[in-house]
């Protein structure tokens, strides 16, 4: 009798390089993005402009840029594609015929072709990068729903959001190729007095990380969503954060959420770190109607802030009554006085979150149960800034959170923020010596976008393999 292989031996594992590239070529991103960039290039061409037609279409440059993350450098991509025995270029030619009906030259594209197309048609202007980002986010959102993430028909509710319907964000400082600061490029020879210019990344600078440390490089914001199954992480958006101005990381993250969330109506909550303050959480609630989770900021000395909210009416049968409410660690507390005169703060249990549409924005309310020893009933508190708050300057979202850190749902949902560090590790592993492949924010943003598209295509392909190979009880 022939021995049967064990389930562990037949279970699909990590993808090979060839399977990764195949998944990337089978994905729609590079083909749709190349088509839109071709239209953009054609619309920007002056009538009567001469010049030899391009030998290779823009899709070849996009594929090449993604392969840089696979093979480690553009030089190695040239070696791999130019080697007839490897079959890489023939694979790309077959994909071009199948997906775009384009017959590529038999001669593999060279690195100087790639650099010309990249620097002229892919990342020469912010308009080109904006088109690329728009296509990437649209496609990534579709991939996310296809693997069961942020599905409008999925599990969870506004009161108790599902972890599979959370969009998490984080900032990442990419180490530049050169250690020299752009402000210190000139070095003086002590003997001759000659000024020598050293190589430097013009967009690199010092950034403060979440732990308070300084990191030198170029900063980007990544948005992603993740499920509990294997290979169920999809990167949704990549955006550059300027060293100075433009509102910093938090403002960049808000713009990223504004570009991403309309494509994912099934999103119930978003997660970010302490870079988000009350004004940013207010925008997430009112613009998109989602539940924001961010780290609470404490007062001097590490103490929790005790903020007085005021008297809130109780909803229960009988005569009208109010309660004196304080905000502590993002949650409403009932203020009481003991028999000895000592004031106490008792947390209230959250029972429901209610979202109401307005003409052009959303309003969010929280309902909280009143303990029986205080007469029972419940209270309803507005969770986003009111007109009175605007008049008095009260930053409500800074002190009152829909799901505070003490809430049982907070631990599960905020864990999605910690999972973004895994994505940062994958990015570091894709770069030679954990340094950027290119110089300048525009080229780096192009490279990070194609890397993210490659990761998404691989994750979706692996997720499909694992889902079909899992036993019925696991695949359900």
pLDDT at 472: 44
DSSP class of residue 53? P
Whether the Cβ atoms of residue 271 and residue 168 lie closer than 8 Å to each other: yes
Q: What is the pLDDT of residue 375?
A: 87
Q: Which residues pair with 312 in a beta bridge?
A: 323
Indicate the pTM of the whole model: 0.90
Q: How far is CA 7 from CA 195, 364, 471, in A?
A: 66, 49, 10
Rounded to an integer, what distance in angstroms lies between the CA atom of residue 211 and that of residue 98?
A: 49
CA separation, residue 78 to residues 31, 63, 312 (Å): 21, 12, 68
* Close Cβ partners of 363 (under 8 Å, ≥ 6 residues apart): 286, 355, 356, 357, 382, 384
Three-state SS at 472:
helix
Report how far residue 279's alpha carbon sits from residue 432's, in angstroms, rounded to the nearest whole number.
39
Cα atoms found within 13 Å of the Cα of residue 53, Cβ hemisphere only: 4
Q: Which two tokens stand for residue 180?
A: 């020299």
Cα–Cα distance measured from residue 264 to residue 287, given in angstroms and rounded to the nearest whole number: 14
CB 285 within 8 A of CB 397: yes
The confidence score (pLDDT) of residue 473 equals 42
Q: What is the dihedral sign for C-alpha 206, 208, 214, 219?
A: negative
- Look up tokens 């593999």; give the residue: 108
Instruction: Quote the pLDDT of residue 469.
Output: 53
- Contacts of residue 76, Cβ cutoff 8 Å, sequence gap at least 6: none
349-357 and 343-347 strand pairing: unpaired
Does residue 366 contact residue 353 with C-beta atoms inside 8 Å?
A: yes
The residue assigned the tokens 């197309």 is: 117
pLDDT in tens, the chain (476 residues): 455 544 444 445 678 999 999 999 999 999 999 999 999 998 875 455 567 888 999 999 999 999 999 999 999 999 999 999 999 999 999 999 999 999 999 999 999 999 999 999 999 999 999 999 999 999 999 999 999 999 999 999 999 999 999 999 999 999 999 888 887 777 777 777 777 778 888 889 888 776 677 889 999 999 999 998 877 899 999 999 987 777 789 999 999 999 999 999 999 999 999 889 999 999 999 999 999 999 998 877 778 888 999 999 999 988 888 888 999 999 999 988 777 777 888 999 999 999 999 888 999 999 999 999 888 999 999 999 999 999 999 999 999 999 999 999 999 999 999 888 888 898 998 998 889 999 999 999 999 999 999 999 999 998 888 765 554 443 33
Mapped onto helix, strand or coil, the DSSP state of residue 334 is strand
Nearest in space to 60 (alpha carbons), one of 115, 131, 129, 140: 115
Cα 328-364-166 angle, rounded to 5 deg: 85
Determine the pLDDT at residue 9. 43
């Amino acid at each position: 009798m022939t021995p049967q292989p064990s389930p562990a031996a037949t279970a699909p594992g990590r993808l090979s390089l060839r399977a990764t590239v195949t998944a990337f070529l089978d994905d729609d991103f590079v083909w749709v993005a190349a088509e839109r960039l071709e239209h953009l290039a054609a619309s920007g061409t002056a009538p009567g402009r001469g010049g030899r037609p391009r030998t290779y279409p823009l899709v070849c440059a996009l594929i090449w840029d993604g392969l840089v993350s696979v093979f480690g450098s553009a030089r190695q991509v040239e070696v791999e594609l130019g080697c007839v025995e490897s079959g890489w270029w023939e694979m790309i030619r077959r994909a071009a015929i199948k997906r775009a009906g384009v017959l590529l030259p038999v001669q593999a594209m060279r690195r100087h072709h790639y650099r010309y197309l990249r620097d002229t048609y892919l990342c020469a202007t912010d308009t080109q990068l904006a088109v690329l980002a728009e296509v990437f986010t649209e496609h990534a959102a579709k991939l996310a729903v296809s693997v069961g993430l942020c599905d409008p028909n999925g599990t969870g509710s506004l009161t108790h959001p599902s972890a599979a319907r959370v969009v998490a964000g984080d900032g990442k400082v990419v180490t530049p190729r050169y250690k020299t600061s752009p402000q210190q490029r000139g070095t003086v020879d002590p003997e001759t007095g000659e000024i020598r210019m050293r190589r430097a990344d013009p967009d690199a600078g010092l950034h403060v990380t979440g732990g308070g440390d300084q990191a030198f490089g170029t900063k980007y914001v990544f948005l992603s969503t993740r499920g509990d199954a294997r290979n169920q992480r999809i990167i949704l958006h990549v955006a550059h954060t300027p060293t100075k101005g433009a509102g910093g990381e938090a403002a960049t993250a808000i713009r990223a959420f504004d570009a991403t969330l309309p494509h994912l109506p099934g999103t119930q909550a978003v997660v970010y770190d302490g870079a988000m303050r009350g004004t940013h959480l207010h925008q997430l609630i009112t613009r998109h109607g989602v539940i924001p989770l961010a780290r609470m900021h404490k007062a001097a000395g590490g103490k929790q802030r005790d903020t007085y909210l005021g008297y809130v009416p109780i909803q229960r049968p009988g005569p009208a009554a109010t309660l004196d409410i304080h905000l502590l660690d993002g949650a409403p507390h009932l203020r009481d006085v003991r028999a000895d005169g000592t004031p106490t703060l008792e947390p209230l249990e959250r029972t429901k979150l209610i979202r109401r549409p307005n003409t052009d924005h959303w309003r969010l309310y929280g309902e909280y149960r009143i303990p029986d020893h205080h007469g029972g009933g419940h209270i309803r508190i507005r969770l986003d800034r009111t007109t009175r708050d605007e008049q008095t300057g009260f930053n409500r979202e800074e002190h009152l959170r829909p799901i505070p850190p003490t809430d049982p749902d907070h631990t599960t949902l905020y864990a999605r923020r910690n999972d973004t560090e895994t994505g940062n590790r994958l990015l570091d592993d894709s770069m030679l010596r954990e340094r950027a492949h290119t110089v300048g924010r525009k080229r780096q943003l192009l490279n990070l976008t194609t890397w993210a598209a490659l990761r998404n295509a691989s994750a979706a392909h692996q997720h499909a393999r694992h889902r079909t190979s899992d036993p019925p009880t696991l695949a359900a």
